[in-house]
Chains A and B, each alone.
Chain A
Amino acid sequence: MNPFLEFRNVEKRYGPITALDGIDFCIASESTVALLGPNGTGKTTLLGCLLGLVRPSEGEIHLRGAKIGDRDRLRFGYLPERLALYQHRSVWDNGWFFAQLKRQPAVELEHQLKRVGLYAVQDRKVRQLSKGMHQRLGLAIALCGQPELLVLDEPFNGIDPARLDELQNILRVERDRGATLLIATHTISAIEPLATHVAILLDGHLAASGPIDELRAAHAEDSLETIYHRVARAQAQEGAMLPAPTKPGPTWKSALPSSRG
């Protein structure tokens, strides 16, 4: 049986810098995948390849066994890390524009705005929103149309505890509805209660991936954070032992532009 989503040897190079180095992994339908890794390790680039924003230098991405195309993305929901909306337009206008792009009716947008608590401020200009409200509008747009794949890039950044609870509940509902969730983050504590699978990306290549329970059993460790740090340390030691490394070993900072996760 074909996996829901499959990354096949995905590579992305920016001149001499390799942002993604032969990424190979599969995502099962209705799973919640935590894509972990420090800043600048290629998480956003990988999501960009999936969403058609970044052209892979090599490799392919398949959805249900077929190469992914533009039309497939109508069934995706995306919340970028650096969300940019039309500042001079209202909450409703922004939501309605993106809902129409996704071919969704007004009633669906209305439902999602109510869900994230922005329906009451639908006439407010986006430039007048707080950072949290801005993020919630992005989430409403991503949720619009009950997407079968929800791609969230650092959704827990700068979120207060009350809102974190709300966001986790919304994501649980989406998971229970049958959506597949791919969430790039370095806030491991926030994703741990939700994730069914983990993929750890270190310096552009996949250091570990699999169901979270298998990973816990393999490392004889319950905490995802501990497992993550163990994998990162092992990777760093492996990199240090290489006689002539072709790229820097795993570190928390990378030579890549900061805009790329």
Chain B
Amino acid sequence: MKTIALIATKEFSDRFRSGWVIACVLVWLGAIGLTSLFGLAQIGRFGLQGYERTVVSLLNLVQYLVPLLALLLGHDLVASEREDRTLPLVVACGATRGYWLLGKFLGGCLTLAFPLALGFTIAGIVIGLTVRERGLGAFLILAGSSLLLGIVFVGVGLAISAFSRTRVQALVIALLAWSTAVFAFDLVALGVVVSSQAATASEEIEKATDATHVVSVEDLHRQYEGAKDNAQHLVPAAPRRFSPWLVLNPVDLFRAINLPQTVALRVPVAAAALAISVWLIVPLGFGVWQLRRLDL
């Protein structure tokens, strides 16, 4: 455990010194702040939104930015040390490959979690003080699921890194993985579902994938505007059956968890937990397996 902690601490410290962490904090704070301020521009309004409406505006940004940051962070965790030839001395000094990989993973997760947590905390406090809204639940779910989404993609990036010979190769594969998860998967899934004539599943996937498009976000904001009793909350619709398609891609699962209740995609906690566990364990398992096979 000491070895894992030592390697994780060194990884975080290296990233901190390189300015990576500070840059991420700034990017993240700026993104949340701007989204919260200008998220209603589509419907001709300006100003800080409440928690629930900030979540609707932020969903787009998080689903693109968090996996990208996580993959950029994870892609060179192993490849850089192989390329720089620093890994042999680490292994020769008694660090097992499995522990080393876990240490790198934890260090990567810390590096990602620090700016995310800081950004969400500051934005949460500012929104709470300014808008004076109490409906913090959706915002906390967004923060927690963003963190999990990031951790899953750090693991995917790490696995890519373990299988790559160079940083450049790892970066190219990481970008392909990102575009697949964020764009291509939905298109393929929709195509498969539509061609298989599974009408219910088709509708659910369409809801999940479409809800973060610009037009749909505008629709959601208009629904909030139209709500008579409280402009910050919507009346939940009756939940639909959950489609297992959505757990095949962590980005879709993330969307489904964070969509407002009017879209009514209820994700069973057990299914979500299982999917996240599989998405964590499988890439890490492949990474350790590959690293143990390598001659350094």
Contact = CB atoms under 8 A, between A and B. Distances in A.
Question: From DSSP, what is the main secondary structure of chain B's interface residues?
Answer: helix
Given A80-B88, A84-B85, A100-B6, A73 B295 contact: no
A5 to B, nearest CB: 15
Contacts of B6: 97, 100-101
Given A100-B6, A101-B3, A84 B86 contact: yes
Contact of A52 (B85, B91, B293): B91
Interface in A80-111: 80, 82-89, 97-98, 100-103
A143 to B, nearest CB: 12
B132 interface: no
Given A71-B94, A101-B6, A101-B94, A84 B296 contact: no
A78 interface: yes
A73 B88 contact: no
B206 to A, nearest CB: 48
Interface string B283-296: 00000000001011
Nearest to A99: B93
A48 B84 contact: no
A53 B295 contact: yes
B16 to A, nearest CB: 12
Contacts of B89: 78, 80, 83-85, 98, 138, 141
B17 interface: yes
A61 interface: no
Interface residues of B, number: 22
B88 A53 contact: yes
B90 interface: yes
A89 B18 CA distance: 11
Most chain-A Cβ atoms within 10 A of its Cβ — which of B85, B86, B88, B89?
A: B89
A65 B143 CA distance: 55
A151 B94 CA distance: 14
B269 interface: no
Contact of B96 (A53, A70, A76, A89): A70
Contacts of A51: 88, 91-92
Contacts of A76: 92, 94
A62 B295 CA distance: 20
A98 B92 CA distance: 10
Nearest to A260: B295
Most chain-B Cβ atoms within 10 A of its Cβ — which of A88, A100, A151?
A: A100
A8 interface: no
Most chain-A Cβ atoms within 10 A of its Cβ — which of B90, B95, B293?
A: B95
A52 B87 CA distance: 12
Given A48-B296, A97-B6, A84 B84 contact: yes
A55 B290 CA distance: 13
A66 interface: no
A254 B93 CA distance: 30
Contacts of A89: 14
Nearest to A45: B295
Contact of B91 (A53, A82, A97): A53
B13 to A, nearest CB: 9
B213 interface: no
Given A97-B6, A100-B6, A52 B92 contact: yes
B99 to A, nearest CB: 9
A55 B295 contact: yes
B293 A55 contact: yes
Contact of A97 (B10, B17, B88): B10
A54 interface: yes
Contacts of A151: 92
30 contacts: A48-B88, A48-B295, A52-B92, A53-B88, A53-B92, A53-B295, A70-B94, A73-B92, A73-B93, A74-B93, A76-B92, A76-B94, A78-B92, A80-B88, A83-B89, A84-B84, A84-B86, A84-B88, A85-B86, A86-B14, A87-B84, A88-B14, A89-B14, A98-B89, A100-B6, A101-B93, A102-B93, A102-B94, A103-B2, A151-B92
Interface of A: 48, 51-55, 70-71, 73-74, 76, 78, 80, 82-89, 97-98, 100-103, 138, 141, 151
Given A100-B2, A141-B93, 4 more contacts: A48-B295, A53-B91, A76-B94, A84-B89
